[in-house]
Structure 1
Amino acid sequence: MTSKMLAYFREKEQGNETEHVYDSQCPFCSVQCKMQLIESRSGNRRRYKTIGKANPTSNGRLCIKGMHAHQHALHKERLTQPMIKSDGQFVPISWAEALDYIKENITELQQKYGYDAMSVYGSASITNEEAYLMGKFARVALKTKYIDYNGRLCMSAAASAATLTLGIDRGMTNGLQEIPEAECLILAGTNIGECQPTLMPYFEQAKKNGAFIIAVDPRETSTTKLANLHLQLKPGTDAALYNGILHVIFQEDLIDSEFLTTSANGYEEVKQWVLSLELTEISAITGVSERDIRRAATEFATPKTGMIFSARGVEQQTDGSISVRNLLNILLATGKFGKHACGYGAITGQSNGQGAREHGQKADQLPGYRSIENLEDRKYIANVWGISEEELPRKGVSAFEMIEKIDAGEIKGMFLLCSNPVVSNPNAHFVKAALAKLSFLVAVDLFLSETAKLADLILPSTSYLEDEGTMTNFEGRVTVRKAMMKPLGEAKHDWQILCLIAETLGAGHLFSFNSAEEIFNELRVASRGGKADYYGMSYSRLHENEGLLWPCPNEGHSGTNRLFEEGFAHTDRKAKMVVVPNKPEVAKEKTCPKYPLYLTTGRVMSHYLTGVQTRKSSSLEARNFESYVEIHPETAMRYNVKDQKLVKIESKRGSIIVRSKITKAIRKDTLFVPFHWDEGQNVNRLVAADLDPTCRMPSFKVSAVKLTLV
């Protein structure tokens, strides 16, 4: 064929090419970057490209996950019709048959064992409307007290710490735009460079402006490389490290005395406690030198402005909640709340980790951050829902404790939505065995996940490109996520599935919603007057303002950029400082001759949570197609481990086989393994089921293990 003919056909093909643009926002991390998917069609060929869209949070930036998110949403293995297990195999059935099956099984279980025989396991990756409806569905349609969600494994420590200390839990207490103007920043157990990379320019600009950055992490990461000072502490010793910093702050009289007197309770007790501690001992506990502890304290306390950010590195421990409270103690001691470029930020992990924990998925919670045990809160929500207060169940238990109750035979059935507890929970062998005991398991998902494989019935859900609704990012900014694609096959939105099942169970008159916006309008009323007050928001206002930060109590309110300018959220308007012991109430696993190394876990940039979505993306899977273990060169030499070789990591609970990655970025006494893989590479098989006594967070970040060659 001649070049002229080729040009002719190319021009003809281009002439027939059509383009569709789909507005959406990223389904992965808590930044919630706005974006557009551009679909080009030419004959039967389709090409896709994702571009960032201007927004107040990430300013149009995208990371590699957002750029390739469409690959899982359009994947050929998406579930598109209800599937029932028959003789160990899943076969398709109609929605009518699926709903009849659900009604039959739930009714039978609850008639025989009571309403609490059913449980609900939710997600922090669903919309606010769906999170709200999950809480209502559990307590009104199923009438069970057993509901919790996978955010328990992610944000519960920071949420409980902020609530107990400050009286309110919002991801950031001040504006994201203030970060570049802070004079000192502490990044505690957070690897923003890989987990929320579109936020990094804020911190990079702060450093350009002269900010002193302190990073706390057992590993060297792209985030710690930005820091002026890296405190490479021993895993699990965060609480003691922050006691050391407080010791220096009080010893050197670097406190804000006026602020402490007018705005904080408990500071005298904290002062006496930390001054009684020996910095030499704290240095020995943490592995951080006295010089570095002193420098961190003076660099943070001396300037007028400063902010602290924490994430899972601090929080996923048996003293995660109180360790975060110690970080808040540091901010309070130095008076860095309620002022410009001062405050705290909990870097939420999941896409809707903030919103999903505000409106009723937690075991002890009602919408608007109300308490299910508070009589006035119960009466208010019961009235919104059209039931009597007496009909509302009381509080249940945390996510992992529900699994323990399944194992013990107290819970017989589970409704599971957009979560994969077989991979995400600690002691994963136990979790899988426990869920296999259920008499009835319904899973709602995009794919046949490791947990969905255990289900009796699977219901197909819609992706972020198809399911409209609001999301609340880590700032506390509520935005509307547009979804312009039609659902694949017979897939339905999560809120539609909940409404259909509620109708099947006889509660349809309380779930008669026709759109996500209708649900949001009920959520607004349910949250009214609560700490997380969305009442002043509407879809039109959220579109016009590119999102609003809660609390937003009325339609004339512009949202709250900075909290605590006029006092804290406790009744006396004061924050509550607390004495934090160096050693946790629930002991963490210690190394010993048999298990001589610490194991810690975390993310990589190209994957998200248990990898169910990102491992379906060819572009992301190609970057990290298998798990690995980071080993210090001296440790590798001691165990005769070569780079890129398979090794076995074993704890008291199980073992995995992964590939070695020898690097000086890790401590000599510590191994690091990411948690995005399943089966023989599922690092959570090695993690103990010890829980934080306050928030019931598992201790993912500290396990004792041994290393051997395969």
Structure 2
Amino acid sequence: MPASWDEALDRIAEGLRRTRAEYGPDGVGVFGGGGLTNEKAYTLGKFARVVLGTSQIDYNGRFCMSSAAAAGIKAFGLDRGLPFPLEDIPKTGCVILVGSNLAETMPPSLRFFNELKENGGTLIVIDPRRTKTAEQADLHLAPRPGTDLALALGLLHLVIAEGRVDEEYVQERTVGWEDARAAAMAHWPEYVERITGVSVPELRETVRMFCEPESAMVLTARGPEQQSKGTDTVGAWINLCLATGRAGRPLSGYGCLTGQGNGQGGREHGQKADQLPGYRKLDDPAARRHVAEVWGVDPDSLPGPGRSAYELLDALGTDIKSLLLMASNPVVSAPRAAHVEERIKALDFLAVCDVVLSETAALADVVLPVTQWAEETGTTTNLEGRVLLRRQAVTPPDGVRSDLEVLHELAARLGVEKGFPTDPEEIFEELRRASAGGPADYSGITYRRIVEENGVFWPCPAVEPEGLTGAEGGAGGPGAQRSAAGRPASTQDATASAEESAARAEDPTASTVDTAGRVHPGTPRLFLDRFATPDGRARFVPVSHRAIAEEPDDEYPVLLTTGRVVAQYQSGAQTRRVAELNAAAPGPFVELHPRLAARLGAAEGDPVAVVSRRGRAVAPARITNAIRPDTVFMPFHWPGEGRANSLTNPALDPTSRMPEFKACAVRLEAVRP
């Protein structure tokens, strides 16, 4: 029923207060989203830990690029989606694109790959489906879903066997090579062919195309990452880049193509279960002291790490009794979605802030209508690590408030009158201080600079006196800012002009330091001098092939993989309300090979049931030679009987806690009238 804002906010505050009183702070959960601005993500994390005192906070980005983030930290000491600007892609010699259909999931980025080919570079696409992206590739490899790890190891084996290792680079810029080498040599080409279905000649051609140019890149997306071994899988592709001397060199290296609008920034400033602002670790005593001082609280009052996204959702109604949810729709987007829906229904209290009445919001006790992207101002950080300012373009409808206003009002009702402003720029100024000295250091970035310089790349430490002072934010303190390489930076290291920042964007070999002593220019390109590890060297991480959590068997003989289509976005909560997009993509479908369709007796458009150990989904058949005969594909944008995530496996990566969306065992059933 309709309610006034005061009535709704009072009820939320009372629901959260009652749960805390009866079950303690961890009886309350908070679930955020990668679509939140930096200011919102920062404030949500602060609200959870300072106002609610709960450790139970995570966000839907855990379902997106968390495995790549974990692998990047292991290898390089730092996670930033791309360690170079997108504009470097057309200038390289070869790109291996692993598990990304960017023609449909990131269409604006396709121009960089078209320019790559126009410039004489080559594109290798690795995907079980012959997607619109794969159709444009010079070479398309179609491995079995869940075997990307073995594929990368097989390629590294051939690099070693064919004498293509950059021995000088490995010796000077890495550690751990011998163990990684031994692991790769156990994956000989014929063995990898049996696992992946990719032929030995295709493996050899991939190695030739990747190694012959002076520069080359590997870019991964959700395909290799959304697996129960996603961190190791991405690590294997990073090992390939390190062995061939690609990482940290101009126009070369490894990068991750992030998915959501603020996929990078959303994972940097505190809405993750184990994180504080500036990409600091929540269990690091120095990080806790620094952030607590910025927040004006006792470090010991901050809770420790909590559950990851799926584990948090799985605990709803048992350990977690109330949930505050923003910018997410897990009833559609979470793995084992029917189970997650039942857990949400078991809550004592659910409050949702959203721009539409999503399937999750429809289950809430209180729904707050909040501003959407064009109705508010805030910063986002794109996949390059470039911080951008999004200005309010239109006036929100009457009766709509921002998430920041909601958190301000709830904090006040729960006894915290100060520390939760509603002005995005004021919050960003605090975020700068909280991030100072951290891996994702924004302390030298301001709204003015973002506008004048068309975005600023982090890390961008502040320089006294113009920048930050006090606590651990000032130059030379215990949390002294770091250079692009991750080492402690002198004042001279941390200064440069906006003009030189632009010049460096044109010249990837240009210096990152302005000796004139003005402001740090930001860091478009990472690792050119050293990596963000204590000794400046990248880490090889030895990995070996292992099977997905659920291999096909006699009862469930087919592999299911899931993904997106161009006309819908994520859970579809917004795009399914646009008539033109619904006309282009009106509903779910089951993509299957003609041989599989023939065995099933299904014709184009016939309803097909896909059944896993977790659930059943029904959708029309889409028969095509563009998919492997042992695999079916379903997009995950829809609820109801065609909900693909009713089928997917919540088996978690042991490091990133990423669920295995990309491969599980299913059987197909014909649906008769």
- Which TM-score applies when normalising by structure 1? 0.86
Is 1:548–2:548 an aligned residue pair? no
Residue of structure 2 equivalent to 1:78: none
Equivalent of residue 475 in structure 1, options 367, 384, 394:
384
1:567·1:574 contact (CA, 8 Å) conserved in 2?
Answer: yes
Corresponding residue number in structure 2 for 1:609? 570
Note if 1:410 corresponds to 2:373: no
The one-character-per-residue Cα deviations of 1:453-494 (angstroms, maximum 9, x if unpaired) are: 111111111111101100111111111001132221211111
Shift of 1:520: 0.6
Conservation of the 8 A alpha-carbon contact between 1:242 and 1:326: yes
Match of 2:359 among 432, 450, 453: 450
Runs of 4 or more, structure 1, over 6 Å off, are none
Q: Which residue of 2 aligns with 1:84?
A: none
Q: What RMSD over aligned residues (CA atoms) do the two structures have, in Å?
A: 1.0
Task: Verify: 1:225 aligned to 2:135, yes or no.
Answer: yes
The one of 345, 348, 352 aligned to 1:436: 345
Query: Using the alignment, how far apart are the partners of 1:445 and 1:514 within structure 2?
Result: 17
Paired residue secondary structure (1:704) = strand
Which of 140, 147, 152 is the equivalent residue of 2:50? 140
Structure 2 residue aligned with 1:504: 413
Residues 236, 588 of structure 1: 8 Å contact kept: no
Query: In structure 2, the residue corresponding to 1:230 is in which secondary structure?
Result: strand
Residue by residue over 1:510-540, the C-alpha shift from the partner in whole angstroms, topping out at 9 and shown as x without a partner, is 21x1411111110111111111111111111
1:173-572 aligned at under 5 Å gives the runs 173-407=83-317, 409-511=318-420, 513-554=421-462, 556-572=519-535
| 1:705 and 2:615 correspond | no
- Displacement of 1:226 after TM fit? 1.5
Gaps of 5+ in 2: 468-518
Which of 570, 585, 593 is residue 624 of structure 1 equivalent to?
585
Please say if residues 174 and 344 of structure 1, whose CA atoms lie closer than 8 Å, have aligned partners that are also in contact.
no
Which whole-Å deviations, capped at 9, do the CAs of 1:637-665 have from their partners, x for residues lacking one? 12111011111111111111101111110
Question: Helix, strand or coil for the counterpart of 1:648?
Answer: strand
Residue 88 of structure 1 is matched in structure 2 by none
User: What CA distance in whole angstroms lies between the structure 1 residues aligned with 2:291 and 2:184?
Assistant: 43
Residue pair 2:29, 2:57 contacting (<8 A) in 1 also: yes
Partners of 1:102 and 1:175 in 2: how far apart?
43
SS of the residue corresponding to residue 61 of structure 2 reads helix
SS in 2 for 1:378: helix
Superposed CA deviations along residues 676-700 of structure 1, whole A, max 9, x for unmatched, are 0001111000012111111110101
Letter of the 1:524 counterpart:
R
Tell me the amino acid that sits aligned with residue 231 of structure 1.
L
Gap runs ≥5 in structure 1:
1-90
1:584-614 deviation per Cα after TM superposition (whole angstroms, max 9, x unaligned): 5xx4211112211110000100111000010
Cα distance, 1:266 vs. partner? 1.0
Contact 1:165/1:325 (8 A) holds in 2 = yes
Contact kept, 8 Å, 1:255 with 1:301, in 2: the verdict is no
Q: Distance in 2 between matches of 1:538 and 1:672?
A: 44
Cα displacement (A) at 1:303: 2.0
Q: 1:4 maps to what in 2? A: none
| Corresponding residue number in structure 2 for 1:648 | 609
Matches within 5 A, 1:663-674: 663-674=624-635
Mapping of residues 68-147 of structure 1, within 5 Å? 91-147=1-57
Identity of aligned residues (%): 44
Q: What is the CA-CA distance between 1:566 and the residue it aligns to?
A: 1.3
Q: Displacement of 1:207 after TM fit?
A: 1.0
Cα distance, 1:581 vs structure 2: 1.2
Distance 1:202 1:403 in 2: 38
**Is the contact made by 1:441 and 1:456 (CA closer than 8 Å) also made in structure 2?**
yes
1:110-136 CA deviation, whole Å, 9 max, x = no partner? 111111110100000010000000110
Output the CA distance in 1 between the equivalents of 2:451 and 2:183.
50
Contact 1:631 1:672 survives alignment (8 Å): yes
| Correspondence for 1:661 | 622
**CA offsets, 1:168-218, max 9 Å, x none?**
111101121111111111000011111111111111111121112111100
Contact 2:408 2:422 in 1 (8 A): no
One-letter amino acid of the counterpart of residue 435, structure 2: S
2:540 and 2:247 map into 1 onto residues whose CA distance is 13
The residue type equivalent to 1:115 in the other structure is: P
- Answer yes or no: is 1:582 the counterpart of 2:545: yes
Does the aligned pair in 2 maintain the 1:187–1:216 contact within 8 Å? yes
Measure how far apart 1:166 and its partner are: 0.7
Count residues in correspondence. Answer: 616
2:642 corresponds in structure 1 to 681
Q: What letter corresponds to residue 231 of structure 2 in structure 1?
A: S
SS at match of 2:310: helix
Question: In structure 2, how many angstroms separate the alpha carbons of the residues matched to 1:277 and 1:671?
Answer: 27
